[in-house]
Amino acid sequence: MADRVQIAAKAAELDTLTSSPASDIIRQGPTKRSKAETRFKLYGLIAIIISLGFLAVMVTSIVVRGTGAFTQSFITLEMEIPADVDPENINATNWRGVMNRSLRAQFPDVKGRSDRRSLTRMLSSTGEFTVRDAVAADPSLIGMTANISVRASSDIDMLIKGNVDLNLPQGQRRVSDQQVAWLEQLRDAGAVETRFNEKFFTGGDSREPEQAGIWGAVVGSFLSLLVCFALSFPLGTMAAVYLEEFAPKGRISQIIEVNINNLAAVPSIVFGLLGLAIFLNFFELPRSTPLVGGMVLALMTLPTIIIASRASLRAVPPSIREAAYGLGASKVQTTFHHVVPLAIPGMLTGSIIGMAQALGETAPLLMIGMVAFIVDIPQGITDAATALPVQIFLWADAPDRGFLEKTSAAIMVLLGFLIIMNLVAIILRKKLEVRW
């Protein structure tokens, strides 16, 4: 009705227009309408530009912030290794003392407890282990003087990377003017250098940003995905085979189908609650482990895999099945010898995409306790572990400025994995897909 009223109004408008000279309409009408046309097209373009602009801003801001984490500042000091170090019992030596003494030797005029403390704070608190390990690796150093590089503390590392605003009053930044001056001296002595931070890729989590790495989280994610794939791939593909090839078209298969569609839209955190109530509290499986994480993720990715697998089974032409029946194959033989092998590439592609989703999932893992602070690299699926996105969440929450770049760098690694998985899926599809 409303449309009709509009049309009537338009017609009335046109009537008034026709009473004016015809040349006017020809001149005015089309330009006005073509302007509206251009404007509308522009709106669409602007919407796309804004959406992609968000993507660009997000990715660049993360890359800009994160690249710093791939390098780390080291301070090389001349250390006197005491002669009484026992190589059999290397932990008995006070390595922190050895490290701190060598730094104080560089600045003999620094007196007073608090000044000395602020001096030694320039070195990573984990530096003592670096010294210990260096001596353990080369016992001939005992009783000698050796140049050993230790990590700068995170605050100093930030200063060296230029992330500290020195124009701020001293009380508002984490580095004092004194420390800036000492760093200058060390720099002049050639003791400061920036190296590739291999620890970021090989280490576990740490309270100290300069020492923290993502390997523990990567292994945790990998183990969870392994469990997830081992469960969801067979379950998902077989369910798809049943629904597509065997299920009688009736109420039951319809219920299952509706069920799967709705399951795909259940918020991921609800799967976490399921895991907490059933896997942890009812079956009493170990908390915080990739085993339970993988099981929860498997239930979450199941709908994705089932839907993708059904689509790829549906793409296999009926002629294949008929040819198999014609040669006397049974239903099961037809399905598993002829139909499924042809559908496997599509099933795999769908599963890889499902795995990529699972890799980025955080919320359900929080529910089953994979948020604990874990330093050790997990050795198996029943070890307490965390996952890459959870590690990002934990670091994003940490107040230390040094964790900011670690968070961004961990995001870059996560996005890298996701890109690789999606590329593999695309290549697999291109290579193996059969066009009928």
Partner 1 sequence: MTLATETPPVTMAKDAGPSIVRSSSRAVVFDRLVRTVLIACSLVAVLTTIGIVASLLFESLRFFQRIPITDFLFGLQWSPQTALRADQVGSSGAFGAVPLITGTLLISAIALTVAAPLGLLSAVYLAEYASEKARGIIKPLIELLAGIPTVVYGFFAALIVAPMLRGGGDSVGFDISSESALAAGVTMGIMIIPLVSSLSDDVINAVPRSLREASYGLGATQSETIRQVVLPAAIPGIAGSMLLAASRAIGETMIVVMAAGLAANLTANPFEAVTTVTVQIVTLLTGDQEFDSAKTLSAFALGLLLFVITLVLNVIALKIVEHYKEQYD
- Could you say which residues in the range 314-353 bind partner 1, by CB under 8 A? 318, 321-322, 325, 328, 330-332, 334, 336
x/- string (CB under 8 A) for partner 1, residues 199-238?
Answer: -----------------------------------xxx-x
What is the nearest approach in angstroms of partner 1 to the Cβ of residue 323?
11
| Among positions 186, 218, 219, 299, the unique one binding partner 1 when judged by CB under 8 A | 299
Among 110, 142, 146, 247, binds partner 1 (CB under 8 A): 247
Which residue lies nearer to partner 1 by CB, 103 or 410? 410
* Best CA proximity match to 304, nearest among 354, 359, 265, 255: 354
Taken in order 395, 396, 402, 408, the sign of the CA dihedral is: positive
Strand bridging mode 192-196 / 145-151: unpaired
Count of residues in contact with partner 1, rule CB under 8 A: 95
Report the nearest approach of partner 1 to the CB of residue 135 (Å): 40
Q: How far is the CB of 172 from partner 1 (least distance, A)?
A: 16
Site map 267..286 versus partner 1, x via CB under 8 A = xxxxx-xx-xxx--xx----
Per CB under 8 A, contacts with partner 1 among 100-139 are: none
* Nearer Cβ to partner 1 (77/387): 387
Q: Does 145 bind partner 1 (CB under 8 A)?
A: no
- 260 is a site residue for partner 1 (CB under 8 A): yes
**Residue 179 CB, nearest distance to partner 1 (Å)?**
26
Among 8, 12, 17, 46, binds partner 1 (CB under 8 A): 46
Closest separation in Å from C-beta 339 to partner 1: 9
Residue ranges in 361-420 that form contacts with partner 1 under rule CB under 8 A? 361-363, 366-367, 369, 371, 389-390, 392-393, 396-397, 404, 407-408, 411, 414-415, 418
293/220 Cα distance (integer angstroms): 9
Determine which residue in the list 20, 91, 185, 262 makes contact with partner 1, applying CB under 8 A. 262
